[in-house]
Amino acid sequence: MISHGTNSGGIPAGRAGRMTGRVIALANQKGGVGKTTTAINLGAALAQSGKQVLLVDLDPQGNASTGLGIGPERRTASTYHVLTEGRPIADVTLRSGDLSLFVAPASADLAGIEAEFSDTADRSQRLRAALRNDSDNPPTHCFDYIIIDCPPSLNLLTVNALAAADTVLVPLQCEFFALEGLTQLLGTIKRIQTRLNPQLRMQGIVLTMYDRRNNLSAQVAEDVRLNLGDTVYQTIIPRNVRLSEAPSYALPGLLYDPHCAGSEAYRALAGELMRRDAALIAA
Ligand SMILES: Nc1ncnc2c1ncn2[C@@H]1O[C@H](COP(=O)(O)OP(=O)(O)O)[C@@H](O)[C@H]1O
Ligand SMILES: [Mg+2]
């Protein structure tokens, strides 16, 4: 890891007067649907497009941190300390490789946070404060995109992510029960909008692990589009073994095998996301 050209916290210096960065929570309470793979590869693709990107790992398992080369031994300062001690994000942030991709890593003690915070009044707003109010130079001023990788549960960590986010991006695996669980997630998003974060919007739904040899994948994709219309991104992420191999080399798929179908799909997803954002801002 290197951190040349950065301030003492290892993050890029804020640029005065610029628009604040977009905070995107990657959420779905189901495990194994592609949240972490999307956080890593969408983050890498946005960084390769010239954006400054921060990935905030909120999953106690820390798969996004490990997959980006920040092993458990390097996670002595983590998002746990940001949430519990109010430590600035810049203090825990590390750079991943040569990309303009930075990581606020997770650590296993995040798993106990629910009990630790049982009667703390601002317990749902800790991440929001860290991303938006922290000092003269909050992370939202330093990064174009802040991507939060959520754990597979609608717990306090996910609530912190949704309370801090501008938008939610939902990875949906192309399998039979894809739409089950989505109702519950959408209900949680509504509650957060009412109680904690009225500005929260849907970024979109991304179909993941699409298998073109399997009719079920095509049926599920069609069904999801019929039900959810334009919210569903045009880009579909295929099932691609290179994406699942990449984390064991501590690299995003985009660097491990830039030309595989999975890497191409994540570059397309980043392009679609930036186009949709530009249209949103212009509207
Ligand atoms: N498009 C894909 N093609 C093949 N394997 C994938 C793909 N996306 C994710 N995986 C693999 O599926 C498993 C679950 O994905 P992950 O991104 O960790 O899901 P989540 O974060 O939602 O639990 C991981 O082993 C990952 O490598
Ligand atoms: Mg994950």
Of all protein residues, the one whose alpha carbon is nearest to atom 5 of ligand 1 is: 244
pLDDT tens per residue, range 243-283: 999 999 999 999 999 999 999 999 999 999 999 988 877 77
In a domain, 106, yes or no: yes
Residues spanned by the domain of 27: 22-282
Q: Tell me the average pLDDT across 74-102.
A: 94
- Model confidence at 10: pLDDT above 70: no
Interval between CA 148 and ligand 2 midpoint (Å)? 11
In a domain, 9, yes or no: no
H or E segment and range at residue 256: helix 253-256
In a domain, 4, yes or no: no
With a 6 A CB cut-off, is 32 part of the ligand 1 pocket? yes
- Tokens describing residue 169: 């991006």
- Residue whose C-alpha is closest to residue 194's, from 163, 153, 160: 163
In a domain, 217, yes or no: yes
Determine the Cα–Cα distance for residues 19 and 144; give it in Å rounded to an integer.
9
Collapse the DSSP code of 147 into the 3-class scheme (helix H, G, I; strand E, B; otherwise coil) and give the result.
Answer: strand
In a domain, 68, yes or no: yes
Overall number of domains in the chain: 1
Alpha helices, H only, 61-210: 63-67, 79-85, 89-92, 113-116, 126-128, 139-142, 156-164, 182-195
Interval between CA 279 and ligand 2 midpoint (Å)? 29
Determine the Cα–Cα distance for residues 86 and 108; give it in Å rounded to an integer.
18
pLDDT tens per residue, range 33-68: 999 999 999 999 999 999 999 999 999 999 999 999
- Here the CATH number for the domain that contains residue 276 is 3.40.50.300
In a domain, 43, yes or no: yes
Using only C-alpha atoms, the chain has a radius of gyration, in whole angstroms, of: 18
Best mutation site among 26, 212, 244, 254 for ligand 1 pocket (most ligand atoms within 8 Å of CB): 244
pLDDT tens per residue, range 211-250: 999 999 999 999 999 999 999 999 999 999 999 999 999 9
- Model confidence at 168: pLDDT above 50: yes
Of all protein residues, the one whose alpha carbon is nearest to atom 17 of ligand 1 is: 34
- Model confidence at 7: pLDDT above 50: no
H or E segment and range at residue 238: strand 232-238
In a domain, 111, yes or no: yes
- Model confidence at 8: pLDDT above 60: no
Lowest mean pLDDT segment, chosen from 2-16, 43-57, 131-145, 268-282: 2-16
In a domain, 122, yes or no: yes
With a pLDDT cut of 70, the percent of the chain lying above it is: 93
- Model confidence at 4: pLDDT above 70: no
Collapse the DSSP code of 264 into the 3-class scheme (helix H, G, I; strand E, B; otherwise coil) and give the result.
Answer: helix
Of all protein residues, the one whose alpha carbon is nearest to atom 23 of ligand 1 is: 32
